[in-house]
Amino acid sequence: MKRKAYFSARRRHGHSNLQRSHRNIRHSTVRTIPIASIVNEAQDAVCYIDFTCHHLYSNDHLRELCPSMPTRRFSSMEALSAFFLEKFEQNGADLDVVKLLWQELLDKRFTERPQMDARRIQVGERILQLIFNFMTTPRGVFIMWRDDTEAIRFEEQKDAFLAELSHDFRTPLTAITGYAELLTYRHTDDEKTHAMLKLVKQEAERLERLVDNFLDYQRVSYSEELLNRETFELKPVLETIVASYDTTSMQHRIVLTANDDVTLNADQDKLLQLIHNLMGNAIKYSPDGGTIKIHVTDEDGTLVLSVTDSGIGIPEEALPHIFDEYYRVDSDAHRPIKGTGLGLRICKRIAEAHGWAIQADSVYGEGTTFSIYFYPASVTETLPPPEREVYE
Ligand code: ATP
Ligand code: MG
């Protein structure tokens, strides 16, 4: 009985909703709002181009930004195009860039469904961001104009400041690590001094890494265009990395298994940064020491590099978050180990800029494996997978 009552109540409820929505549709078809008033009332600098009637609508905010963009009807699309190109050129835009942009706009005017797009364009001293909203009924495009000049200038100043800061930070740190190393060798007979100097060197190196991570993260946007790609052999690069940890980390044994003939097309500095971040984590989160394995293999035609440790591991619920900005696992084992929570975010950005994938697998209390999948475009040559046992 109860169940029946439940269903009939729902049906009644559904029916009244339907009736209401029909009323709404009827209502909305009757009352159409003219485009001119939508454009006028917009709180941003906006214009609308009607492709069918060759009509340009603009609002006061846009006319403040560009006085030569009045609301106007044109005799043809060609006349409207000529007007646009002329106005942009008069205001100091590069005509070739504007032509390309305008052509793109015309190509998209018969788009099947509404879509959005954005372009940045330099007009004289100003940098404008144009956000296009293509409409299908009626055929037209809303363009929102934003003056990004100040924001970009601020970004440039921030970049310059960070570049300077990064230089000023690194110079004394390099001196500290250099002298600490020198003194460590001079005091090999005095155990206590030797241990203290080693600690100074280790901590200065850690600070160097933190500064590198933080400043690079702030300064560099890891995009495909900014990569300095070159083709190189992977194994010697990995051997250099392993050698650099052999001296700094006595508690950990590092095992490398990789074929000789694998070449990669990548930004070598960025790849080094990525692997150093993974290695740094593997060592840091294995406080009791242990073996760290760097392994290169071929998985169904994709080259995969993995870094495996037998450290404290990552709890299952934390795994989906570890690539997030400033995320740090909050567990008893993790809490005493310091960091900024940026290393893996940087790794992910470097991998994504190259078109690679990066993945973490872990068992809490047992250890962690990070794998980088170098998708085929980056690999110029791979040999069959190495035989693991032979190398270990
Ligand atoms: P830093 O920015 O100095 O690298 P961090 O090491 O804390 O600081 P990430 O490298 O981004 O930051 O790592 C994010 C979090 O993921 C770490 O705080 C740690 O909790 C966890 N984590 C990363 N690698 C490992 C690992 N190999 N074993 C266990 N936990 C790890
Ligand atoms: Mg880290």
H or E segment at 376?
none
What does the pLDDT read at residue 19? 44
Q: Is residue 117 part of a domain?
A: yes
Per-residue pLDDT tens digits for 345-382: 889 989 998 999 999 999 999 999 999 999 875 554 44
The pLDDT of residue 255 is above 90:
yes
237 and 382 share one domain: yes
Please state the rounded mean pLDDT for residues 314-339: 92
For residue 277, report the distance from its CA to the centre of ligand 2, in Å: 6
What does the pLDDT read at residue 18? 40
What does the pLDDT read at residue 377? 59
The angle that helices 191-219 and 149-186 make with each other, rounded to 10 degrees, is 170
In the structure, what pLDDT confidence band is assigned to residue 119 with cuts at 50, 70 and 90? confident
Contact 56, 69 (CB under 8 A): yes
Lowest mean pLDDT among 90-99, 260-269, 382-391: 382-391
User: Side chain identity at 367, as an amino acid letter?
Assistant: G
308 and 323 share one domain: yes
198 and 242 share one domain: no
Q: Is residue 358 part of a domain?
A: yes
234 and 365 share one domain: yes
The DSSP secondary-structure symbol of 325 reads: T
Of 272, 266, 271, 275, the C-alpha closest to 230 is: 266
What does the pLDDT read at residue 57? 92
Using CA atoms, how far apart are residues 322 and 311, in angstroms rounded to an integer?
A: 16
320 and 377 share one domain: yes
The pLDDT of residue 137 is above 80:
no
283 and 355 share one domain: yes
Contact 143, 131 (CB under 8 A): yes
Q: Is residue 279 part of a domain?
A: yes
Q: How many domains does the chain have?
A: 3
Task: Among 103, 123, 147, identify where a domain stops.
Answer: 147
Please name the residue whose Cα sits nearest to atom 3 of ligand 1.
339
193 and 231 share one domain: no
Ligand nearest to the CA of 292: 1
For 322-328, the CB contacts below 8 A with 24+ separation are 322/360, 323/347, 323/348, 323/358, 323/360
For residue 343, report the distance from its CA to the centre of ligand 2, in Å: 4
Please state the rounded mean pLDDT for residues 307-317: 96
Greater pLDDT, 148 or 114: 148
Per-residue pLDDT tens digits for 244-253: 887 666 789 9
Greater pLDDT, 213 or 134: 134
Ligand nearest to the CA of 341: 1
Give the CA distances from residue 5 to residues 14, 156, 299, in Å, rounded to whole numbers and listed in that order: 14, 67, 58
Give the CA distances from residue 46 to residues 6, 108, 128, 275, in Å, rounded to whole numbers and listed in that order: 50, 19, 12, 47
- Measure the CA angle with vertex 41, ends 83 and 61; round to 5°: 50
Most trustworthy range by pLDDT among 18-27, 197-206, 302-311: 302-311
In the structure, which protein residues have their CB atom closer than 6 angstroms to any atom of ligand 1?
210, 213, 281-282, 285, 309, 311-314, 322, 327-329, 334, 339-345, 368
295 and 317 share one domain: yes
SS3 category, 151: helix
Q: Is residue 82 part of a domain?
A: yes
Count the neighbouring beta carbons within 10 Å of the beta carbon of residue 317.
9
As a whole number, the mean pLDDT across the chain is 82
282 and 199 share one domain: no
The angle that helices 77-90 and 95-107 make with each other, rounded to 10 degrees, is 150
What does the pLDDT read at residue 346? 86
CATH of the domain at 340: 3.30.565.10
Residues with Cβ < 8 Å from 24, sequence gap 6 or more?
none
The backbone torsions φ and ψ at residue 278, rounded to the nearest 5 degrees and listed phi first, read -65, -40
Handedness of CA 309, 315, 316, 318 (dihedral sign): negative
For residue 184, report the distance from its CA to the centre of ligand 1, in Å: 29
Lowest mean pLDDT among 76-85, 98-107, 206-215: 206-215
What does the pLDDT read at residue 116? 77
Please state the rounded mean pLDDT for residues 109-122: 79
What does the pLDDT read at residue 387? 43
Q: Which domain holds residue 301?
A: 225-390
**DSSP per residue, 10-35:** HHHHHHHHHHHHHHHHHHHHH-PPPH
Task: Among 84, 113, 147, identify where a domain stops.
Answer: 147
Of 208, 212, 283, the C-alpha closest to 246 is: 283
201 and 262 share one domain: no
Name the residue of 206, 285, 331, 346 whose CB sits within 8 Å of the most ligand 1 atoms, as the mutation to test its pocket.
285
Most trustworthy range by pLDDT among 143-147, 187-191, 302-306: 302-306
In the structure, what pLDDT confidence band is assigned to residue 67 with cuts at 50, 70 and 90? confident
261 and 325 share one domain: yes
Bridge partners, 309 (sequence order) = 368
Task: Among 147, 164, 181, identify where a domain stops.
Answer: 147
Q: Is residue 22 part of a domain?
A: no
The pLDDT of residue 4 is above 90:
no
Q: Is residue 15 part of a domain?
A: no
What does the pLDDT read at residue 220? 61
Ligand nearest to the CA of 206: 1
Q: What's the full length of the chain, in residues?
A: 392
Greater pLDDT, 299 or 306: 306
Burial grade of 47 (CB within 10 A; 0-12, 13-18, 19 or more): buried
Per-residue pLDDT tens digits for 10-37: 333 334 444 444 444 444 454 566 888 8
Please name the residue whose Cα sits nearest to atom 20 of ligand 1.
329
What does the pLDDT read at residue 22? 44
Helices (H) and strands (E) in the chain, counts: 11, 14
Q: Is residue 9 part of a domain?
A: no
The pLDDT of residue 159 is above 70:
yes
For residue 278, report the distance from its CA to the centre of ligand 2, in Å: 7
Q: Where are the alpha helices (DSSP H) in 109-190?
A: 149-186
The pLDDT of residue 105 is above 90:
no
Please state the rounded mean pLDDT for residues 333-339: 90
Count the neighbouring beta carbons within 10 Å of the beta carbon of residue 340.
14
In the structure, what pLDDT confidence band is assigned to residue 233 with cuts at 50, 70 and 90? very high
Please state the rounded mean pLDDT for residues 210-219: 71
The residue written with tokens 């973490």 in the block is 360
SS3 category, 128: strand
Per-residue pLDDT tens digits for 80-96: 999 989 988 888 889 99
Intra-chain end-to-end CA distance of the chain, in Å = 71
293 and 160 share one domain: no
Atom of ligand 1 nearest to the CA of 345: 11
Q: Is residue 24 part of a domain?
A: no
CATH of the domain at 126: 3.30.450
Using CA atoms, how far apart are residues 253 and 308, in angstroms rounded to an integer?
A: 12
Token code pair at residue 50:
């009607």
